[in-house]
Amino acid sequence: MKVCPNCFSDKELIYYISTSNELGNCDTCCSKEQSLLALEELYDFFQALINNYKTTDKGEPLTSKIQSHWSFFSSSENAMKILNFVLPKLQTNITSSIDLVDYTDDIIQNYGYWETLKDELKWKNRFILNIDKLKELEWDKFFNTQKLKPEELLYRARLHHQSGLKPKAKEINAEDNMFCPPQTLAGGGRANPSGIPFLYLSDKEETTLYEVRASYLDELSIGEFSLNDGIEYVKIVDFSEDTSLFQEDSNNISSTIKGKLLRERISVDLSKPMRRYDNEIEYIPTQFICEFIKVFTGASGIKFSSSLHLSGNNYVVFDQCLMKCNRVYVVKVNNVELSSTLIN
- Same domain? For 167 and 247 the reply is yes
Instruction: Give the pLDDT of residue 343.
Output: 65
Instruction: Give the pLDDT of residue 120.
Output: 94
Relative to beta strand 234-238, strand 145-148 is: antiparallel
In a domain, 117, yes or no: no
Question: Residue 97: exposed, middle, or buried by beta-carbon count in 10 A (0-12, 13-18, 19+)?
Answer: buried
Instruction: Give the pLDDT of residue 333.
Output: 87
In a domain, 338, yes or no: no
CB 233 within 8 A of CB 227: yes
Helical (H) or strand (E) element with 290: helix 284-297
Residue-wise pLDDT tens digits, 77-90? 999 999 999 999 99
Indicate the SS3 state at residue 101.
Answer: strand
Q: How many CA atoms lie within 13 A of 139 on its CB side?
A: 22
Neighbours of 230 (CB within 10 A): 6
In a domain, 344, yes or no: no
In a domain, 24, yes or no: yes
- Same domain? For 169 and 97 the reply is no
CB 279 within 8 A of CB 213: no
Which stretches of the chain score pLDDT less than 50?
A: 163-164
In 3D space, the residue among 119, 112, 120, 121 whose CA is nearest the CA of residue 139 turns out to be: 112
- In whole angstroms, give the CA distance from residue 234 to residue 204: 19
- Same domain? For 150 and 286 the reply is yes
Domain that holds residue 44: 2-103
In a domain, 235, yes or no: yes
How many domains are there within the chain?
2
- Same domain? For 220 and 71 the reply is no
Instruction: Give the pLDDT of residue 249.
Output: 83
